[in-house]
Protein backbone atom coordinates (compact mmCIF):
# COMPACT_ATOMS: atom_id res chain seq x y z
CA UNK A 1 0.00 0.00 0.00
CA UNK A 2 2.75 2.45 0.91
CA UNK A 3 4.67 1.74 -2.31
CA UNK A 4 1.56 2.31 -4.42
CA UNK A 5 1.10 5.73 -2.81
CA UNK A 6 4.75 6.62 -3.40
CA UNK A 7 4.61 5.75 -7.10
CA UNK A 8 1.44 7.70 -7.80
CA UNK A 9 2.26 10.81 -9.83
CA UNK A 10 1.52 14.13 -8.23
CA UNK A 11 0.28 17.13 -10.13
CA UNK A 12 1.53 20.52 -9.11
CA UNK A 13 -0.13 23.73 -10.04
CA UNK A 14 1.48 25.51 -12.98
CA UNK A 15 3.33 28.64 -12.17
CA UNK A 16 6.74 30.14 -12.44
CA UNK A 17 9.22 27.47 -13.55
CA UNK A 18 11.69 26.42 -10.88
CA UNK A 19 15.34 27.11 -11.36
CA UNK A 20 16.74 24.68 -13.91
CA UNK A 21 13.36 23.78 -15.36
CA UNK A 22 12.54 24.39 -19.01
CA UNK A 23 9.37 26.43 -19.72
CA UNK A 24 6.85 24.27 -21.56
CA UNK A 25 6.91 26.47 -24.69
CA UNK A 26 10.68 26.02 -24.99
CA UNK A 27 10.34 22.30 -24.39
CA UNK A 28 7.65 21.98 -27.06
CA UNK A 29 9.85 23.88 -29.52
CA UNK A 30 12.81 21.61 -28.79
CA UNK A 31 10.66 18.52 -29.21
CA UNK A 32 9.37 19.81 -32.56
CA UNK A 33 12.91 20.60 -33.76
CA UNK A 34 14.22 17.23 -32.55
CA UNK A 35 11.39 15.40 -34.31
CA UNK A 36 12.16 17.27 -37.53
CA UNK A 37 15.85 16.34 -37.29
CA UNK A 38 14.94 12.74 -36.49
CA UNK A 39 12.75 12.55 -39.59
CA UNK A 40 15.57 14.11 -41.62
CA UNK A 41 18.00 11.47 -40.37
CA UNK A 42 15.59 8.71 -41.39
CA UNK A 43 15.28 10.20 -44.90
CA UNK A 44 19.03 10.52 -45.35
CA UNK A 45 19.51 6.98 -44.06
CA UNK A 46 16.95 5.62 -46.54
CA UNK A 47 18.66 7.57 -49.32
CA UNK A 48 22.06 6.22 -48.32
CA UNK A 49 23.43 9.77 -47.98
CA UNK A 50 25.78 9.03 -45.11
CA UNK A 51 27.47 12.44 -45.05
CA UNK A 52 24.11 14.19 -44.56
CA UNK A 53 23.06 11.46 -42.13
CA UNK A 54 26.09 12.13 -39.94
CA UNK A 55 25.43 15.87 -39.98
CA UNK A 56 21.74 15.37 -39.16
CA UNK A 57 22.63 13.08 -36.24
CA UNK A 58 25.08 15.68 -34.92
CA UNK A 59 22.44 18.43 -35.11
CA UNK A 60 19.88 16.16 -33.44
CA UNK A 61 22.36 15.56 -30.65
CA UNK A 62 22.90 19.31 -30.28
CA UNK A 63 19.16 19.87 -29.87
CA UNK A 64 18.83 17.06 -27.31
CA UNK A 65 21.76 18.38 -25.25
CA UNK A 66 20.24 21.86 -24.83
Minimal CA–CA distance to 66: which of 17, 15, 12, 23?
Answer: 23
What is the per-residue pLDDT for 66?
84
**Helix, strand or coil, per DSSP, at residue 33:** helix
The whole-chain average pLDDT of the chain stands at 80
Which position has the higher pLDDT, 23 or 10?
23
Q: What is the mean pLDDT of residues 19-30?
A: 79
Does the pLDDT at position 43 exceed 80?
Answer: yes
Does the pLDDT at position 1 exceed 70?
Answer: no
Amino acid sequence: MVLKHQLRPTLKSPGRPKKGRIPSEDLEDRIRRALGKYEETLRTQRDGDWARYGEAIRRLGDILKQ
